[in-house]
Amino acid sequence: MQPATQQIDTSFDSIIDELVWRGLISVSTDLDALRSDLAAGPVKYYCGFDPTAGSLHLGHLVQLLLMRRLQLAGNVPYALVGGATGLIGDPRPTAERTLNSRDQVAQWVTQLQAQVSGYLSDEGDNAVRLVNNLDWTSQLSAIDFLRDIGKNFRVGAMLAKDAVSARLKSDAGISYTEFSYQVLQANDFLELFRREGVTLQSGGQDQWGNLVGGVDLIRRVERASVHALGSPLITNSDGTKFGKSEGNAIWIDPELTSPYAFYQFWLNTDDADVIARLKVFTFLTREEITEYERLVAEEPFRRAAQRRLAFEVTAIAHGASQANAVIAASEALFGQGDLATLDAPTLAAAVDELPHADVEIGTPLSAIGVETELFRSAGEARRAISQGGLYLNNVKVDDADAKLSADDLLNGGFALLRRGKKTLAGIRVNTGDTPGLRSGF
């Protein structure tokens, strides 16, 4: 399968119309003025990513794909990885951030720049420009910061920012360090406006106060009008937070979230959410998404929209070949492919998503079935085996006394049990040189 071509949808009159339809704009400055500037284009625009971890996550993917859509429309992206603001920390509503070392932040800057550049084209007149706000912030003295930048901010407005207000009402309070973050981010917009002619900043809706801080600073200092776009925070239809699985963040880095787990996360999207996810996270056209909307309404049991969503986003994040490999692995788990062709990392990721057990060679399969909760008791397991209801590596088990042997192991020391058609469990035997799972072992 090949992913959708990354291109703007020509059924819309403008890129702004497409962004609105996809649900990517929740707040903005003067949208009509921005529409006019984009039509006259190209516009130089930026989005900032702070290195508070070694990888971006799904929340960042919203902004990366928004940037890509603007780039496809001919505009020039500036991807800012905040080597300076990452040393400070954007205030959270609950508690003070732990400050990371300069060396750690510098390492994360390099990692995030590599990730960001994978989503934006580096070719042509509107190739992505990578920038680091440490380049100009490190040259700014405390006196210059207070006189030239800080003088343009009013404390009352700064206190009204949601995160700041929440922290002031909490027992934790807020340090001057984090309180000053919004001034540094506003200065980034000013610097990029002066240095590069950047006139648009995008970000999440929760960053809106910081975004308009930059707009106001440029208006005060340069007497110029610039733009800001805020995207809605993605939530599930039931109100729960999007972007986590079993309480863990879904990372873009395949070492932190395997492509298999990444694919499964999207595959498990609820019917009520899947069309909105297709709009935000894929390059499918309005016509194609409308057809999937019909399929969700008329044939939800086929989960065609979820399968397409999972493939498209996995292909965007990890490449089409990896997305197809994950699909092959998913099919093999349920008897529609050859398990022996799966490599150890893919099997490890698959087993990690299943109920699983760490066992020794010679353990009865009935006991493993109980340990992995396929069965409530050894007696129930033995009865299921005698009735042809248990499979080891997709091969029916016909001996109620069967034990796991070395010959049963797949690549990496794994094996799979299946009860009936759909209920799976994983087995791992520690062979001494196999990759460890992320949890449970």
106 class by beta-carbon count within 10 Å (0-12 exposed, 13-18 middle, 19+ buried): middle
- Give the residue from 161, 133, 145, 140 showing the smallest Cα distance to 46: 133
139 class by beta-carbon count within 10 Å (0-12 exposed, 13-18 middle, 19+ buried): exposed
* CATH number belonging to domain 15-231: 3.40.50.620
pLDDT over 90 (residue 88): no
Q: What is the pLDDT at residue 246?
A: 64
d(CA 366, CA 387): 13
255 class by beta-carbon count within 10 Å (0-12 exposed, 13-18 middle, 19+ buried): exposed
Q: Which one-letter DSSP state was computed for residue 252? A: S
Q: Where in the chain is the domain with CATH 3.10.290.10?
A: 341-441
Q: Where in the chain is the domain with CATH 1.10.240.10?
A: 240-333
Model pLDDT for residues 165-182, shown as the tens digit of each residue: 888 888 778 888 888 889
pLDDT over 70 (residue 200): yes
Strands 200-204 and 129-131: unpaired
Q: What is the pLDDT at residue 431?
A: 62
Alpha helices in 200-299 (DSSP H): 208-222, 259-267, 271-281, 286-298
SS (HEC) of 93-141: CCCCCCCCCHHHHHHHHHHHHHHHHCCCCCCCCCCCEEECCHHHHCCCC
The H or E element spanning position 307 is helix 304-318
pLDDT band for position 436 (cuts 50, 70, 90): very low
d(CA 359, CA 88): 47
The stretch 33-47 carries a mean pLDDT of 96
Q: What is the pLDDT at residue 415?
A: 94
Q: Of the CATH numbers 1.10.240.10, 1.10.10.60, 1.10.287.130, 3.40.50.150, which one belongs to the domain with range 240-333? A: 1.10.240.10
Structure tokens at 57: 């996550």
Query: CA–CA distance from 249 to each of 65, 206, 349 (Å)?
Result: 19, 18, 16
pLDDT cut 70: percent of the chain above it = 97
Least confident of 211-225, 328-342, 383-397: 328-342
Query: Which residues have C-beta within 8 Å of that of residue 29, sequence separation ≥ 6?
Result: 212, 215, 226, 227, 228, 229
Beta-sheet strand order (sheet of 44-49): 27-28, 227-231, 200-204, 44-49, 76-81, 129-131
The stretch 4-33 carries a mean pLDDT of 96
pLDDT over 60 (residue 439): no
Model pLDDT for residues 253-279, shown as the tens digit of each residue: 999 999 999 999 999 999 999 999 999
Model pLDDT for residues 290-348, shown as the tens digit of each residue: 999 999 999 999 999 999 999 999 999 999 999 998 998 888 888 888 898 888 888 88
pLDDT over 80 (residue 67): yes
pLDDT band for position 282 (cuts 50, 70, 90): very high
pLDDT over 50 (residue 63): yes
pTM over 0.85: yes
pLDDT over 50 (residue 440): no
d(CA 13, CA 190): 31
pLDDT band for position 225 (cuts 50, 70, 90): very high
CATH topology of domain 341-441: 3.10.290
pLDDT over 70 (residue 139): yes
pLDDT over 60 (residue 137): yes
pLDDT band for position 247 (cuts 50, 70, 90): low
pLDDT band for position 438 (cuts 50, 70, 90): very low
Q: What is the pLDDT at residue 435?
A: 45
Q: What is the pLDDT at residue 432?
A: 55
